[in-house]
Amino acid sequence: MMRRLIPILAGLLAASPAVAQAPVRIGLSAPLTGPDAAFGQGLRQGAEQAVADLNRAAGGRPRWVLVPADDGGEARQAAANARKFAADGVRLVVGPLESGAVAAAAPVHEEAGAVMVAPAAAYGPLTGRGLWNLFRLGPSDAQQGRAAGAYLAKAFAGRRVGILSDRSTFGRGLADAVAARLKEAGTPEVLFDGFARGSRDLSDLVARLRAARLDAVYFGGLAPDAATLLRALRAAGLGTTLVASDGILDPSFAAAAGADGDGTVMTLAPDPPRLPEPRGARPAPRSPEAESVSAGAYAAVELLTQATERARAADPKTGRIADGRKVAEALRAGPSRTLLGSVAFDARGDRSAAPIALRIWRRTADGRLDYAGNDVEP
C-alpha cells in the first residue's frame, strides 16, 4: 500500500506550486513633476528596470515591487512621501533627488526604521548628522572640494592660488574643503575671499585678486556667479584659471560665460554607465537629464536588495521588513557589486572613494562652450 502511495504523493508535490516569497516593496521618492521632472523620470526609469531585471533573474516572480511617489522636488512633499511610506510599511527607499528633499525626508525615514539610498544629493552636511539610515552614491560637496584642492596643489605647485565663495552654506563648504586640502599639501592659499550671490559689481574684489597676483582661483558657487566672476576677470585683463565644482554644470554657464569660460576646470561625478538593454522590449528613450541619474537609481535598487538578502531582513510570508537597521548594517559591512561598479560606504553613509572626474570647458569649432570629453589629469 505504501509503495503505491509514494508515486501518487510525488506527483501531487510536483503539481503543487512552490511556496513563493512575498514581494518586498521599494519606495521611490522623485520629482516626477515640476522643474526637475526630467531627472525624476530618469530615476523612475532606472529603478523600474532594476526591479524588472531582478524579478526576471528570480524566475519572473514579483520578488520586488517598486512604489513610486512624486515629491515635485519639494522638501515638504518629500517628507509627506516619507510619512506615507512609513504608514504603508515600506522600509527601503530610493531618493529623493535634491539635497533639501533628502534632508526633510531622512529623519522621518529614520524614525520609521527605513533605509534610504540617495543617488545624487551632494550637500556635505547631510551625512554628518549621525543618521544611521542615510546613504548616498554621488560625491559630496566636501569630496569634490578635496579633489579640487588636490588638483590645485599638483597643477599649480609653487604658484599662487586663491579661494572664493558665494558666501552661501554650499559655496563656503566647498571653499573650506579646498582650503583644508591645500593646507595638507603644504601649499595654502594666498587669498580667501568671497562675494554675495547675484553681485554685479566685482571691481573691488577683482582689484584684490590683481594685487594677490593669482595664477588660479577656486570658486565655490553656482553657474551665474561663476560667469559674472569670469567676465570681470577677463575685462580686467586677468588670465587667472578658474576651478569650480559641478555647481556650474548648467547650460546658463556656457551661455553667460561665453568665450571667457574657456579653460575653466570643473569637478563632477564621472559619466554614468548606460542601463542594460531591457530583455524583450525596446529601450525607452531617455533625455540627457534622465540619462545622468538613471544608472544611480538602478544601482540604488541593487544595493538595497542585496543588503536585504544578506541580512535576511524581509519576512518571507509578508515581504515586510520590521526594522531597516539590519539592512543598513549590511550596506556598511562591505562592498556590493552594482551597475556603477563596486560600491562601499563609510561610517557616515558616504560612498568610500567616490569617483570624481575633472573636466575643462573649451570652445568648440562652432563657437560653443562645452566640457564633454575634455578630461583633465587629476
Least confident of 20-24, 42-46, 120-124, 361-365: 20-24
Same domain, 239 and 335: no
Output the pLDDT for position 249: 87
CA 16 – CA 89 distance, rounded (Å): 31
Residues 263 and 292 in one domain: no
The number of folded domains in the chain is: 2
Task: Identify whether residues 312 and 200 lie together within a single domain.
Answer: no
Q: Is the pTM of this model over 0.75?
A: yes
For residue 236, being part of any structural domain is answered with yes
In a domain, 211, yes or no: yes
Compute the average pLDDT of residues 315-343.
94
* Chain center to CA of 113: 22
pLDDT the model gives residue 307: 97
Q: How far apart are CA 264 and CA 371, in angstroms?
A: 9
Q: Do 249 and 119 share a structural domain?
A: no
Same domain, residue pair 79 and 189: no
11 occurs within a structural domain: no
Kindly report, residue by residue over 130-183, the tens digit of the pLDDT: 899 999 999 999 999 999 999 999 999 999 999 999 999 899 999 999 999 999
For residue 162, which of 181, 144, 179 has the smallest C-alpha distance? 179
Residue 157 sits in the same domain as residue 127: no
Give tens-digit pLDDT for 246-303.
999 888 899 999 999 999 999 999 989 999 887 766 767 778 888 989 999 999 999 9
229: which residues sit within 8 A by CB, 6+ positions away? 164, 195, 202, 219, 242
Q: Which domain holds residue 188?
A: 141-268+356-376
- Dmax (CA) for the chain in angstroms is 104
Distance between CA 194 and CA 59 in Å, rounded? 58
**Which positions ≥6 away from 91 have C-beta within 8 Å?**
112, 113, 114, 115, 320, 321, 322, 323, 324, 327
Same domain, yes or no: 252 and 368: yes
**Where residue 228 falls among pLDDT bands split at 50, 70, 90?**
very high
Whether the per-residue pLDDT at 11 is higher than 60: the answer is no
Tens-digit pLDDT profile for residues 50-88: 999 999 998 878 999 999 999 999 999 999 999 999 999
Same domain (yes/no): 178, 228: yes
CATH of residue 92's domain is 3.40.50.2300
Residues 6+ positions from 343 with CB-CB distance below 8 Å: 137, 299, 303, 335, 336, 351
Asked if residues 216 and 156 have their Cβ atoms less than 8 Å apart, the reply is yes
Cα angle: 16, vertex 20, 23; to 5 degrees? 155
